Amino acid sequence: MGIEVVVDGLTKSFGRQNIWQNVSLTLPAGEVSVMLGPSGTGKTVFLKSIIGLLKPEQGRVLINGVDMVNSPEREIMETRKLFGLMFQDGALFGSMSLFDNIAFPLREHTRKKESEIRRIVMERIDIVGLLGAEGKLPGEISGGMRKRAGLARALVLDPQIILCDEPDSGLDPVRTAYLSQLLIDLNAQIDATMLIVTHNLDIAATVPDNMGMLFCRNLVTFGPREVLLTSEVPVVAQFLAGRREGPIGMSEEKDAATLAAEQVNGGGAGAGPRTVVPQLEPSPGMPVRQAALRRRERVAAMMGQLPQAARTAILNSYTPTAGGARP
């Protein structure tokens, strides 16, 4: 089972530019979480801070009692072995076959024999649906296949925490849908804690158990997916609807005068309540997602604290469909 990640009061700047401040949230063990936000809001910086590749000025990231910000480097390096990281561009070595790319972490960080490495690599290649392509170079395959190869490489050390940085970038909607299903199937198989950074609304609507959003140097919200998907907070509603009207501008945030003019002109009005689409289920033949069972108990305990729209969406998700299956 995955490991809980506790982020407490995290603040990161580059020089005098504040990226985000006082970010606090908990990634529940084994569950899939998504961090949304417009381009340039520091989502990738947040991932790198969780794994200890960047050092925030304030705050803590607690994993199994180790603080990835302030603990000794030796402890941070050891805890980093619990992570698998899927980079935005796949980050594959162009001169290596897919097999050698995926085997690279095992050869670098373990003393396993080549026969054992081959077994592990081929298992992971099978999981991501790349059997038969292991001898190809990254330049000989599609962007979607490179993404899956990057995911396979992130899995070879049996991580308990998987971080995915914009896994959909460069993919068409069909390949993004396949990748979304792959992430859910993967969670069903290995029960790892997963955090996906994206601005893709299809992934956000169908994949996660929990969702958060970064905007204007702050964490706007983080919690069960239904809270954000039914939110009436202007920046969240604008982002999810893909509208021009709202706090998000071309650079980042609009000035007060522009927002006031939009309100006078009725900008953003009449959108109506959003429909919360069902979360993806594992493919036929996959095990039941244990994370979904744990989440149901966890969310039940907090129902009284959630907005009415979120409570309704959660209860609706537990109602069997006409075919007898939970949506």
Burial of 309 (0-12, 13-18, 19+ CB in 10 A): middle
Q: How far apart are CA 216 and CA 204, in angstroms?
A: 20
Domains, the chain, with CATH or none: 5-224 (3.40.50.300)
Residues paired with 83 in a beta bridge: 161
Please give the pLDDT value at position 261. 52
Please give the pLDDT value at position 295. 96
Please give the pLDDT value at position 70. 94
Residue 21, Cβ neighbours under 10 Å: how many? 17
Please give the pLDDT value at position 56. 95
Q: How far apart are CA 212 and CA 247, in angstroms?
A: 17
- Distance of CA 27 to CAs 10, 37, 150, 208, Å? 14, 17, 23, 11
Kindly report, residue by residue over 261-314, the tens digit of the pLDDT: 545 444 444 444 567 899 999 999 999 999 999 999 999 999 999 999 999 999
- Distance of CA 266 to CAs 109, 240, 303, Å? 58, 18, 33
Please give the pLDDT value at position 264. 44
Q: How far apart are CA 240 and CA 229, in angstroms?
A: 8
Interstrand relation of 32-36 and 210-215 (parallel, antiparallel or unpaired): parallel
Q: Using alpha carbons, select from 144, 209, 210 the residue that is nearest to residue 173.
A: 144
Please give the pLDDT value at position 175. 84
Instruction: Cite the beta strand spans of 130-255 per DSSP E.
Output: 161-165, 193-197, 210-215, 218-224
Please give the pLDDT value at position 96. 94
Beta sheet of 17-27, edge-to-edge order = 17-27, 5-14, 58-63, 66-67
Amino acid at 70: N
Q: Using alpha carbons, select from 230, 266, 260, 264 the residue that is nearest to residue 247.
A: 260
The region, left, alpha or beta by phi > 0 then psi within -120 to 50, assigned to residue 224 is beta
Eight-class DSSP state of 288: P
Q: Which residue has the tokens 């109506």?
A: 272
Q: How far apart are CA 161 and CA 158, in angstroms?
A: 9
SS3 77: helix
Burial of 305 (0-12, 13-18, 19+ CB in 10 A): exposed
Task: Check if the beta carbon of residue 139 is closer than 8 Å to that of residue 170.
Answer: no
**Angle value at C-alpha 26, between 1 and 157, nearest 5 degrees:** 35
Averages of pLDDT over runs of 10 residues in the chain (327 residues) are 94 92 97 91 92 94 96 94 82 91 92 95 92 93 88 92 89 88 94 94 93 92 95 91 84 52 47 75 95 95 94 85 42
SS3 73: helix
Q: What's the residue count for the chain?
A: 327
Per-residue tokens: 206: 């169908």
Task: Check if the beta carbon of residue 212 is closer than 8 Å to that of residue 219.
Answer: yes
Please give the pLDDT value at position 317. 87
Please give the pLDDT value at position 243. 85
